[in-house]
């Protein structure tokens, strides 16, 4: 990890001064301060970033100030001081450009400035030193396990984590991570970022976490959760338990007798081969099943909800009492026997 300096500017603040384009001290002049109250100086920062940067930190420090007065009586030296002068910008997604932003520098004069109460406005010149740094890190850091059971933890950046053999516990943290569970019954937490999880062989449990994730079980009887975001969740081979979570998800079971939940949002569902059960709780959104097949033994579990069925454009539309609908693409309502509703 390498820290280097870079150029940026601070400008567009309330007052009459202006920040330079390069690093160095400057003065904000004639910033109004009404007696007995606070005033705010807003500094807007504009970074000169490149795609290789993944985190930026600005440090702004008040070096000192002088005072002026517009009135009959000059203020004394009793000030309340200055605060809030450092901040950090979080890393960008996919090493992109970090958004511009602003901070406020607040200062106050207080009641002791003017005992005679004859000055309507007073002004302070703030002299500010500032410095910018950014942290450069490779877009992907590789973290490898062993042939045995491992506990692997990622970073705040985009990591590639390989569990290899053994029953591993893998945590991705922030960044857009690529996580490979490989062999063994693994437990995977991707957390923040647009992550890709390939659980691998054996019976795995994987959680996509926040953002828009791709979670795949592959071999074994897996339990897969998209969690928040618009996720793609696929069971692969085996009898899998697959849930989309929040957001508009694409959820498919693959081979095997799978249990499939779209959960919240408007989801697209596919059971794949063999007999699958699709679950719909109250408020689960407007979902579509693209390959519902009574011939294969697919069924619907409505979690105690009542329903009505109609045909729209050649597809059965099931309206649920708890809100939401289920569309069975290419399936007529007449083909739904009692066994279609588990």
> What pLDDT digit, counting tens, does each position of 204-234 carry?
999 999 999 999 999 999 999 999 999 999 9
- The predicted-structure confidence for 73-101, as pLDDT tens digits, reads as follows 223 222 233 333 333 333 322 222 233 33
Q: Which residue has the tokens 């950090």?
A: 88
User: From its phi and psi, is residue 156 left (phi > 0), alpha (psi between -120 and 50) or beta?
Assistant: alpha
Residues 6+ apart with CB under 8 A from 99: none
- The predicted-structure confidence for 41-70, as pLDDT tens digits, reads as follows 444 443 333 444 443 444 443 333 333 332
Percentage of the chain beyond pLDDT 90 is 55
Q: Residue 173's pLDDT band (boundaries 50, 70, 90)? A: confident
Q: What is the pLDDT of residue 155?
A: 84
For residue 331, pLDDT over 60 is answered with yes
pTM (two decimals)? 0.63
C-alpha radius of gyration, the chain, whole number: 30
For residue 107, pLDDT over 70 is answered with no
The partner residues of 294 in beta bridges, in order of sequence, read: none
Pair 1, 135: CB distance under 8 Å = yes
> What is the mean predicted confidence (pLDDT) over 252-280?
97
The partner residues of 252 in beta bridges, in order of sequence, read: 234, 270
Q: What is the pLDDT of residue 139?
A: 53
Pair 142, 160: CB distance under 8 Å = yes
> What is the mean predicted confidence (pLDDT) over 195-199?
96
DSSP 333: G
For residue 245, pLDDT over 80 is answered with yes
- Cα–Cα distance between 317 and 276 in angstroms, integer? 19
Structure tokens at 192: 């923040």
Q: Residue 157's pLDDT band (boundaries 50, 70, 90)? A: confident
Percentage of the chain beyond pLDDT 70 is 59
Q: Residue 275's pLDDT band (boundaries 50, 70, 90)? A: very high
Q: Side by side, which strands form the sheet with 8-11?
A: 8-11, 38-47, 101-108, 81-83
The angle formed by the CA atoms of residues 94, 99 and 101, to the nearest 5 degrees, is: 150
> What is the mean predicted confidence (pLDDT) over 297-326?
97
Burial string for 15-25 (b: 16+ CB within 10 Å, else e) reads bebebeeeeee
For 235-303, the three-class secondary structure string (H helix, E strand, C coil) is CCCCCCEEECCCCCCEEECCCCCCEEECCCCCCEEECCCCCCEEECCCCCCEEEECCCCCCCCCEEECC
Q: What is the pLDDT of residue 119?
A: 36
Q: What is the mean pLDDT of the chain?
A: 71
């Amino acid at each position: 990890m390498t820290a280097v300096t870079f150029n940026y500017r601070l400008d567009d603040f309330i007052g009459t001064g202006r920040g330079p384009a390069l690093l160095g001290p400057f003065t904000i002049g004639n910033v109004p301060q009404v007696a007995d109250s606070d005033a705010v100086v807003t500094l807007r920062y504009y970074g000169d970033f490149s795609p290789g940067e993944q985190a930026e930190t600005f440090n702004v420090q008040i070096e000192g100030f002088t005072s002026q007065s517009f009135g009959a009586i000059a203020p004394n030296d009793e000030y309340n001081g200055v605060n809030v002068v450092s901040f950090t910008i979080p890393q960008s997604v996919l090493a992109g450009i970090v958004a511009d932003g602003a901070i406020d520098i607040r200062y106050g004069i207080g009641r002791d400035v003017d005992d005679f109460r004859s000055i309507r406005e007073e002004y302070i010149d703030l002299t500010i030193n500032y410095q910018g740094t950014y942290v450069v890190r490779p877009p992907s850091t590789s973290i490898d396990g062993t042939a045995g059971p491992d506990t692997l933890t990622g970073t705040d950046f985009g990591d590639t984590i390989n569990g290899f053999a053994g029953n591993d516990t893998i945590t991705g943290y922030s960044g857009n991570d690529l996580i490979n569970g490989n062999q063994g019954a693994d437990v995977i937490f991707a957390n923040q970022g647009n992550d890709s999880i390939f659980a691998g062989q054996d019976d795995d449990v994987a959680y996509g976490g926040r953002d828009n994730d791709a979670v795949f079980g592959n071999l074994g009887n897996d339990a897969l959760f998209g969690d928040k975001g618009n996720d793609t969740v696929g069971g692969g081979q085996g009898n899998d338990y697959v849930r989309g979570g929040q957001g508009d998800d694409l959820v498919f079971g693959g081979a095997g007798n799978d249990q499939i939940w779209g959960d919240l949002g408007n989801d697209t569902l596919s059971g794949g081969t063999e007999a699958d059960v699709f679950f719909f709780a109250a408020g689960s959104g407007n979902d579509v099943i693209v390959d519902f097949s009574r011939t294969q033994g697919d069924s619907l579990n409505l979690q105690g909800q009542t329903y009505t069925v109609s045909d729209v454009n050649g597809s059965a539309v099931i309206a649920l009492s708890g809100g939401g609908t289920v569309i069975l693409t290419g399936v007529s309502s007449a083909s739904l026997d009692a066994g279609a509703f588990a």
